[in-house]
Structure 1
Amino acid sequence: MINKLLEQAELFVSNLFENKLSPKNFYHNIEHTKSVLDTVTQLAGRENCTEQDTQLLQMAAWFHDTGYVNVETGHEEESAKIASQFLKDKGMSQVDISVIEDLILATKMDVTPTTLLEQIIKDADCAHVASERYFETSEQLRQELIYKNEQSIPVLDWLNQNKEFFAKHKFYTQSAQVKLQPKKEMNAFNLQKKINKIEAKKVEKAKGKNLGRGVETMFRSTLRNHMQLSAIADTKANILLSVNAIIISVALSNLVPKLDSASNAFLVYPTLVLLIFSVSSIVLSVISTRPNVSNSTVTKEMIMSNQTNILFFGNFYKMSLKDFEWGIDYLMGHEDTMYNALTKDLYYLGLVLERKYRLLRLTYTVFMIGIIISALSFILSYHFFANVT
């Protein structure tokens, strides 16, 4: 019976979060719930829990954060109430409901678990400290608190709070201590490295060694120069388009009508050569200025791992406004990521410029060769026609 109830619980909690959970819950959402569910299942297996106990843990995992749909403070008690009401309506025994309520309440920060099942769900709820994506999930929690409290949290302050949490936190089950503790210690080591790096930058600023203004000037000047070069390339392409359009217009209006006369037969091939090279120059000019927009979808993970640049519209135009605002806030709070985005912007702008100027060089070469060959063909054709007649 409980297997069927777990399926119903999954559907209930998923719909509850989708319809009622605040969008400010960047961390305490369905993704976190599923992560806790997976971890309790793994820990229960390693701790040799019975099938019944494992299913009770899974049920508690599904409901342990549902209270966030109604309250912030004391959400564990609210979660227990929501779970209790749901399970009573589904006909679960009061004994099992009480166990699930106790498991949910055991996830409170100040509660020390007393039973094995409570230890398992407590370890699962805090297993993110041993996750390979720890810093990503930590940033999600920081953003959640920023939006909910409407108060900024400096990165260094947040990292120090994380450091204090690491110092106080402990895993309770034997399997978590074996499997998760080493990963937690590695995250703690990397956390300290981040703190040291930020503090070192603050010391440099205090000593007047901050190069931020110089770096910003460098990026501003270089990006402006590249934009000017791009504008010059577009202007050159437009000049070629205009010149060749005039040549084609003149040829079609003045030369082509005269080709019907036998006396003007010598104009056929030179005119054809001229038109071919003019059309080729126009096509190459259009290709050199044709815009190219990326079709890839940018994710938060890509932003935090420096895999993309959301400062370029071609990258962020598929993002929702909420995700874009989050990305900009993330850049403003992470100087290294911001400079990395500017570096990518400069690099890819350089690639675009290289393509434009390479095609423009080819276009001017085709135009120059076309003019020369067309002029020679007119002279040779006229000379040959004159000798024949």
Structure 2
Amino acid sequence: MDYLGAKADILGKLTNELPQSLYYHGLHHTLDVLYVAEELCALMRISAYETMLLKTAVLYHDAGFMFSSLDHELRGCEIAREALPAYGYFASEIERICGMIMATKIPQTPRNPLEEIICDADLDYLGRPDFYSIGATLFKELEAAGILKSEEEWNRIQVRFLETHAFFTPVNIQRRRPKKLQHLANLKALVATYS
């Protein structure tokens, strides 16, 4: 399994082929998720082999955005299935990677520890101090796509999303959930001021 070769290939494609209007789902998001996934794997003592599979899934989890935001997870799996055999990944490994990618589809549906880790890494920012600055990039992306029209609408959506979201790994439940609940309380207070 040539992880570094696969990584260089997909990062090159993401750099050159992701639309410029992806203020949130750009290369920086994939790299952020990769960093958090590595951190969670270390904290949870995940084996080097399993960590490599997970990191590969992270690199492809939003690759479908090169083509469309609609069903981008499915397209990411297609891209992984096309590319990874050339880097020595077995079909069984690629299917596990695709399981991890599909688990990130909202609402998240992880079925095993690696899928739980990628889900938590993907939405790690919900419980971090940079929640508002990262959220602003998602608002800008959705506004540019014509999905959102106002900050009020965005804040109402954020409240609903935070109310239904849950971290899965014991690590992120402990380290991110308290801050996420604080963000939710702040947003609820803000939304309560709307007439």
Q: Would you say same fold, with TM above 0.5?
A: yes
Deviations 1:6-58 (A, max 9, x none): 32233222221222111110000111001111111111122221111111111
Matched, 1:59 2:56: yes
Aligned residue in 2 for 1:84: 81
User: Residue 130 of structure 1 aligns to which amino acid in structure 2?
Assistant: G
Aligned CA distance change for structure 1 residues 155 and 123 (closer, same or farther; 3 Å):
same
- Which blocks of at least 5 consecutive residues in structure 2 are unaligned? none
Q: Indicate if the aligned counterparts of 1:142 and 1:153 stay in contact, CA closer than 8 A.
A: no
Give the Cα separation in 1 of the matches to 2:30 and 2:56. 11
Give the Cα separation in 2 of the matches to 1:77 and 1:152. 24
Deviations 1:71-117 (A, max 9, x none): 22110010011112111122211121111111111111134211011
Aligned residue in 2 for 1:184: 180
For residue 6 of structure 1, the aligned residue among 3, 8, 20 is 3
For residue 38 of structure 1, the aligned residue among 35, 43, 46 is 35
Q: Indicate if the aligned counterparts of 2:30 and 2:62 stay in contact, CA closer than 8 A.
A: yes
Aligned residue in 1 for 2:139: 142
Matched ranges for 1:106-185 at <5 A = 106-149=103-146, 152-185=148-181
Q: Percent identity at matched positions?
A: 26
Between stretches 69-78 and 104-113, larger displacement belongs to 104-113
Deviations 1:263-308 (A, max 9, x none): xxxxxxxxxxxxxxxxxxxxxxxxxxxxxxxxxxxxxxxxxxxxxx
Aligned-partner SS, 1:162? helix
Q: After TM superposition, what 4+ stretches of structure 1 lie above 4 angstroms from structure 2?
A: none
Matched ranges for 1:209-288 at <5 A = none
Structure of greater Rg: 1
Deviations 1:324-383 (A, max 9, x none): xxxxxxxxxxxxxxxxxxxxxxxxxxxxxxxxxxxxxxxxxxxxxxxxxxxxxxxxxxxx
Matched, 1:96 2:86: no
Give the Cα separation in 2 of the matches to 1:139 and 1:109. 19
Tell me by how many angstroms 1:196 deviates. 4.0
Q: Indicate if the aligned counterparts of 1:87 and 1:97 stay in contact, CA closer than 8 A.
A: yes
User: Residue 126 of structure 2 aligns to which amino acid in structure 1?
Assistant: V
Deviations 1:127-171 (A, max 9, x none): 12112111111111111111122x552111110100000000001
Q: Indicate if the aligned counterparts of 2:148 and 2:154 stay in contact, CA closer than 8 A.
A: no
Give the Cα separation in 1 of the matches to 2:66 and 2:186. 34
Aligned CA distance change for structure 1 residues 9 and 190 (closer, same or farther; 3 Å):
farther
Deviations 1:196-251 (A, max 9, x none): 45x2xx5xxxxxxxxxxxxxxxxxxxxxxxxxxxxxxxxxxxxxxxxxxxxxxxxx
Q: Indicate if the aligned counterparts of 2:5 and 2:87 stay in contact, CA closer than 8 A.
A: no
Give the Cα separation in 1 of the matches to 2:169 and 2:183. 19
- Which blocks of at least 5 consecutive residues in structure 1 are unaligned? 203-389
Aligned-partner SS, 1:27? coil
Q: Is the helix fraction higher in 1 or 2?
A: 1
Give the Cα separation in 2 of the matches to 1:93 and 1:55. 13
Aligned-partner SS, 1:28? coil
Give the TM-score normalised by structure 2: 0.93
Give the Cα separation in 1 of the matches to 2:151 and 2:108. 28
Give the Cα separation in 2 of the matches to 1:155 and 1:111. 25
Give the Cα separation in 1 of the matches to 2:104 and 2:169. 14
Q: Indicate if the aligned counterparts of 1:131 and 1:183 stay in contact, CA closer than 8 A.
A: yes
Aligned residue in 2 for 1:26: 23
Q: Which has the higher contact order (CA 8 A, sep 6+)?
A: 2
Give the Cα separation in 2 of the matches to 1:141 and 1:8. 30
Aligned-partner SS, 2:82? helix
Aligned residue in 2 for 1:48: 45
